[in-house]
Structures are given as C-alpha cells and as structure tokens.
C-alpha cells in the first residue's frame, strides 16, 4: 500500500486532467460561521456573506452561495480564483510540493463525484461531503492571532480597552461585528432545516467555535444524532481543551454512546497548539498547560479516540517548535496502546496527529516579517528533527506526510518575500502589538521569548524612528 504522499499525487494526476486548478473543496468542502453569517470552502480564501433572504427559501445556500458558484466555474476552465492564492504559491515552489488543494482532492475523490461535477451545470446546488461549522463565538480563550469575531473573550477585551493602535493591520475594531444569540440566529435555524436532507450524504461534520463545548447547539446536535442515527457520519470537534474537566468527560461519554449505539461512524478530536511551555500560554491567553494535559488524558482514556493537534505555525512558533514536537512523540508513545485502530482503510494512520498550516494574518504574527538570514536555521533544525524521527511504518514516529507538510512551510519561508513596505509595516506593528498586549494582559514578551530580543529591538527602533520623524516635522 502506498503512503499518504503517493496517494495524494496519484489523485491529483486524475483531477488535473479536468483542470489544473480544479479543487473539489469548492463543491464538497465548506466552512460556515453561524455567528457572523459567512462561509468559504476552506480557511485560505476570506469568508463571504451568506444571504439571509436566500436561506429562508433554500437552506443549502449556507454553502451554495453565488460567490462559490462563480469560483467553481472559474476552476472548471482552468482559471485561478484569487482567494486561493496560497495554494498557487505552494505549487509554484516546485520540488513536488503538496498544496492543500491536492490534499483536499485526495481526501474526497471518487469517480462518481467527478462525473457529477463534470456532467452538471456550474450553478447547481450540492450537498457537501465535509462541513466545518461554528454555532457561536463563545470562547474562554483570547489567542493573540485570533479575532473578537471568533472569541467572545477577545471581544470583551476590545470592548473594555478599545482597538489596538497599529500601523494599519488587525486593529480589531468591533463595531462591524454581528452578535447574534443562538436562539435567535437565522443561520442556525436554516442549518437545522437543512440537516435532515444534507446529513443523508454528509460524511464528515466538524464543529468549531469559539469553544464548541460551551455552545448549546453542539449538544443539540448530539441529541439529533441519538434520535436519528447517521451510521455513515464522522463527527469532529475542535476544542481548546481549556474548559472544565467535567465538560471534557461529558464529551467523551457522549462520544462513547454515539459510537456504541451506531449513531455515528467515528469521532475525532482536534485541538490547537502552536508551541509548548510558557510560550504556548503566552500565545493562547487562557491556556493552562496542566489543565490542558489533564483534559487530553481524560478524553483519550475515556473515549479512546484519536486526537489531532492543529499547529498554526506563526512567528512565535519558530524558535521553540521542536519542544512541541518532542511532546507529540511522547504522547504517541503514551497513548498508542490506549487508542485502538480507528481506520480500517489505513490502519497505520497515527492515533496522535499534528498538522502544520502556517498563519498568514494578522501580519505581526506572520513568519515572513522575520529576517531570513537569522531565522531560516530554526526552520532547518525543525525539519531535521522531523526527518531524524521519521518512520512511515512506525505509528510512534513522524510520517512522510508530516515531513512534507513542514518542508513546504520551510521552503515557503525561504523563497517567499514581501515587499519592503509590507515588512516594515509588519515589524512596526509587531512592536506596537506585543507592547500593548503585555500592558493589557500583564505579560512580558522578552521574558517569555528572550531569543527574539534582537528582532524586538529592531522593531522597537523602527517605531522610535517614526516618532522622532513626526516630532521633527
């Protein structure tokens, strides 16, 4: 059996015959944000508005928006929707780099799906194979690179202190943010009207947030599944694992009931973690690592379910990411015997997984504002650590796909350059942002990241130069 990397390349050879820009995600993947009434097909393009009037008539318009339909039409003729630029950039690196377009095509490819798309009009309505959705922005964390539209705690902080004073990036004005209660939300109403039909063919439902364990609609979804089982359906939950242990235990017990009674096919838990130690707690305000590890252990031992860590690789991950990878190896060794084989098709699949998408905004967290001559060596060390501990046949080691995903992050950092003005803006905002963040949250950047002192001082100097120039006018 070929490994994940070869399987991805086999499928892309087939789908590229339709169009070299073809991405099944435009048809069969969707992310829906009920609290803001927006959607996109994956996290790369910016989300766009869903028409309230249209979902009253056609609840599938939560996914089948006119914007998406036009992008589907572009792809079918080989054009590149501009919102998908990240994948075009990755593919442009050469060296057989694997883009998220390729990964998604591989994950949901079937000949039947391809035939349906090719034989149907571009503006057809379609029930997706994969849905990622969030009922609410209620969250007990306020991660630095997050946004008040996605975190109620962050929203409250901005409401108390006001927006950050930045050059022009990620100032976090909250006046435009839609705030809707779950019980009065037309998008949630449309969701549960669409559910009976859409769930018949849906394969994966991933509930995000906010923190979904704090959302009443998450638990309502479990009740719907117990009342009307979907034995073909996989349920995924994105949790920060920073809630009360009782909620994590409740989740694990619900999962066990759903699986035991054949209400769902399988379940997976996802949790975000971008580095380890005090640096992780600094990055993800609200995180307490002892609580997080206790919750991880409770879930794994109670539900005996796989866990995937989403590592949004950002500027604060660079110098310490190996410390997190060491923990991944530790958890794989610890839980390998606890979690049974959960994938009949690919039984070698790791039970503790991680993924490394890289963060593109806000700019002050973007790795590309770092000086490459000083920081590229950290990327090389991370890649070497993964390679030195890589063994496709050993579930306790890193896989080829994990290696390839970080190789593209490393190569993208090495080869992709912003223009000088954008770099200057990002560096000035870096100093302004973390200075103000420390003031608001009682933290200390340099105590937490002493190995970034030179970069900090450079960013500080850029701001001091602006102040001096302004005074001289």
pLDDT tens across 63-74, in order? 999 999 999 999
Q: What is the pTM of this model?
A: 0.89
Q: Over the chain, what is the mean pLDDT?
A: 91
Measured CA to CA, the distance from residue 25 to residue 41 in angstroms comes to 6
Instruction: Report the pLDDT value the prediction gives residue 157, as an integer from 0 to 100.
Output: 94
Instruction: Report the pLDDT value the prediction gives residue 165, as an integer from 0 to 100.
Output: 86
Per-residue model confidence as pLDDT tens digits over 287-318: 999 999 999 999 999 999 989 999 999 999 99
Q: How confident is the model at residue 169 (pLDDT cuts 50, 70, 90)?
A: low
Instruction: Report the pLDDT value the prediction gives residue 464, as an integer from 0 to 100.
Output: 85
Instruction: Report the pLDDT value the prediction gives residue 170, as an integer from 0 to 100.
Output: 64
Average pLDDT over residues 442-465: 95
Average pLDDT over residues 235-255: 97
Instruction: Report the pLDDT value the prediction gives residue 32, as an integer from 0 to 100.
Output: 96
Domains of the chain (ranges, CATH numbers): 4-417 (3.20.20), 426-472 (no CATH)
Average pLDDT over residues 427-437: 96
Average pLDDT over residues 438-453: 98
Instruction: Report the pLDDT value the prediction gives residue 334, as an integer from 0 to 100.
Output: 95
Does residue 49 have a pLDDT over 50? yes
- Sequence-distant (6+) residues with CB within 8 A of 89 are 412, 416
Measured CA to CA, the distance from residue 108 to residue 278 in angstroms comes to 38
Q: How confident is the model at residue 1 (pLDDT cuts 50, 70, 90)?
A: very low
Q: How confident is the model at residue 6 (pLDDT cuts 50, 70, 90)?
A: confident
Does residue 324 have a pLDDT over 60? yes
Does residue 469 have a pLDDT over 80? no
Does residue 472 have a pLDDT over 60? no
Average pLDDT over residues 87-115: 88
Does residue 398 have a pLDDT over 70? yes
Does residue 9 have a pLDDT over 80? yes
Instruction: Report the pLDDT value the prediction gives residue 396, as an integer from 0 to 100.
Output: 93
Instruction: Report the pLDDT value the prediction gives residue 253, as an integer from 0 to 100.
Output: 97
Q: How confident is the model at residue 434 (pLDDT cuts 50, 70, 90)?
A: very high
Average pLDDT over residues 98-104: 89
Q: How confident is the model at residue 344 (pLDDT cuts 50, 70, 90)?
A: low
Per-residue model confidence as pLDDT tens digits over 369-395: 999 999 999 999 999 999 999 999 899
Q: What are phi and psi of 63, to 5 degrees?
A: -110, -45
Pairing of strands 234-238, 284-285: unpaired
> Percent of the chain beyond pLDDT 90?
75
Instruction: Report the pLDDT value the prediction gives residue 167, as an integer from 0 to 100.
Output: 74
> Percent of the chain beyond pLDDT 70?
94
More confident residue, 418 or 178: 418
Measured CA to CA, the distance from residue 239 to residue 216 in angstroms comes to 14
Does residue 265 have a pLDDT over 90? yes
């Amino acid at each position: 059996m070929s490994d994940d990397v070869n399987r991805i390349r086999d499928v892309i050879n087939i789908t590229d015959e339709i169009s070299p820009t073809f991405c099944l995600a435009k048809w069969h993947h969707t992310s829906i944000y009920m609290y803001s009434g927006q959607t996109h097909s994956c996290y790369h393009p910016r989300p766009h508005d869903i028409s309230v009037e249209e979902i009253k008539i056609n609840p599938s318009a939560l996914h089948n928006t006119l914007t998406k339909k036009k992008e589907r039409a572009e792809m079918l003729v080989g054009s590149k929707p501009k919102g998908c630029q990240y994948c075009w950039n990755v593919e442009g690196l050469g060296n057989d780099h694997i883009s998220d377009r390729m990964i998604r095509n591989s994950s949901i490819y079937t000949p039947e799906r391809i035939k349906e798309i090719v034989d149907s009009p571009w503006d057809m309505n379609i029930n997706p194979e994969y849905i990622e959705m969030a009922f609410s922005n209620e969250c007990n964390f306020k991660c630095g690179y997050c946004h008040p539209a996605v975190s109620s705690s962050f929203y409250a902080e901005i409401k108390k202190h006001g927006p950050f004073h930045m050059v022009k990036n990620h100032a976090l004005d909250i006046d435009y943010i839609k705030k809707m209660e779950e019980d009065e939300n037309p998008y949630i109403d449309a969701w549960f009207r669409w559910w009976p039909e859409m769930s018949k063919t849906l394969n994966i439902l991933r509930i995000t947030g906010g923190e979904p364990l704090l959302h009443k609609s998450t638990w309502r979804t479990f009740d719907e599944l117990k009342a009307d089982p979907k034995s073909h359906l996989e349920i995924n939950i994105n949790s920060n694992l920073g809630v009360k242990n009782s909620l994590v235990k409740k989740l694990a017990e619900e999962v066990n009931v759903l699986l035991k009674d054949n209400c769902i096919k399988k379940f997976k838990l996802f949790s975000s973690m971008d580095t380890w130690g005090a640096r992780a707690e600094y990055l993800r305000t609200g995180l307490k690592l002892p609580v997080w590890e206790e919750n991880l252990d409770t879930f794994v031992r109670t539900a005996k379910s796989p866990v995937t860590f989403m590592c949004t690789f950002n500027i604060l991950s660079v110098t310490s990411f190996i410390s997190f990878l060491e923990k991944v190896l530790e958890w794989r060794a610890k839980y390998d015997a606890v979690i049974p084989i959960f994938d009949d098709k690919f039984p070698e699949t790791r039970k503790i997984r991680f993924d490394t998408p890289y963060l593109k905004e806000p700019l002050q967290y973007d790795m590309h504002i770092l000086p490459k001559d000083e920081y590229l060596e950290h990327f090389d060390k991370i890649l070497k650590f993964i390679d030195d501990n890589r063994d496709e046949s050993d579930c306790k080691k890193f896989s080829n796909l994990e290696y390839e995903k970080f190789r593209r992050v490393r190569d993208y950092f090495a080869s992709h350059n912003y223009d000088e003005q954008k770099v200057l803006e990002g560096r000035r905002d870096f100093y302004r942002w973390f200075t103000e963040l420390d003031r608001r949250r009682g933290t200390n950047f340099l105590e937490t990241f002493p190995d970034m002192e030179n970069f900090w001082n450079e960013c500080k100097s850029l701001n001091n130069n602006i102040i001096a120039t302004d005074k001289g006018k």
